[in-house]
Amino acid sequence: SAIRPHTIFISVMLAQNETGILQPVGDIGALLEEVNRRRKKESLPDILFHTDAAQAIGKVKIDVNALKVDYLSIAGHKFYGPRSGALYFRESKPLYPFILGAGQERGYRSGTPNVCMIAGLGTAASLVIEGLDGFQRSMRESRDYLEKKLQDAFGSKVSFNHRKGAAALPNTCSVSFKGMNGPDILCKAKFVQASTGAACHHTAEPSEVLLNSGVPADSARGTLRLSVGRNTSHADIDLAVRLLQDAVALLQKPGN
């Protein structure tokens, strides 16, 4: 119902970067195929479909054909690669350069190619292909252990912002501390590297993503995004939870 006759491009995140929930990109792609067939009969242009897979790469299997996308973008630092990126596009779809010049990289991006970054990104991707199943199991076990330890430590004071059984990244934990302020917790939690939302949309206001997902405002304000990695240990998680306990206890002291 959001599609209009003048719609020509749709972009959807594959994985929501605050909650880790996976979006139904493949279903949307299938719907757009049918929409484009109807538009062709009406002499309307095809709608091009892009997904931002930066948060998903290295954590879940990605198949551009199953997703039915025309374009897919990734970021190297999200899967232990260099801080670089790449764009997949179907050869049957248009792609125009935004850096013009001598025509390097098949005319799509002029300038000297960054060979080290390109090679590093390719190597990181190869490692993902070889080890993804193991990476997923390790991260999911660590994430589940983290959520259990948080529940044990804080009880009803915390809630988790994804439904059990929902399609989600194996490494992301979005946890809300009811009646508290997320930035205040992180300021007091020494050595805990976490965030209160998406770095690219960080504001002092509660996350619109959480509010639109039905999370109450007094919980959304106290939300932390905690992520585990391939090598996160139970000892790392135990320490992080203790530091969060200390931070919350300090903030709840009279006068704070």
Note the Cα 86 to chain centre separation in Å.
16
Q: Distance between CA atoms of 233 and 141, rounded to whole angstroms?
A: 10
Tokens representing 50? 């892009």
Comma-separated ranges of CATH 3.90.1150.10 domains in the chain:
133-252
Comma-separated ranges of CATH 3.40.640.10 domains in the chain:
9-97+111-125
pLDDT (tens, 9 = 90+) of the chain, 256 residues, equals 889 999 999 999 999 999 999 999 999 999 999 999 999 999 999 999 999 999 999 999 999 999 999 999 999 999 999 999 999 999 999 999 888 888 888 888 888 889 999 999 999 999 999 999 999 999 999 999 999 999 999 999 999 997 777 899 999 999 999 999 999 999 999 899 999 866 555 566 888 999 998 899 999 999 999 999 999 999 999 999 999 999 999 999 887 6
The architecture of the domain spanning 133-252 is Alpha-Beta Complex (3.90)
The pair phi, psi for residue 176, each rounded to 5°, is -110, 135
Q: How much is the pTM?
A: 0.89
- Give the residue numbers marked as catalytic: 200
Tell me which fold the domain 9-97+111-125 belongs to.
Aspartate Aminotransferase; domain 2 (3.40.640)
Which of 50, 55, 67 is CA-nearest to residue 15?
A: 55
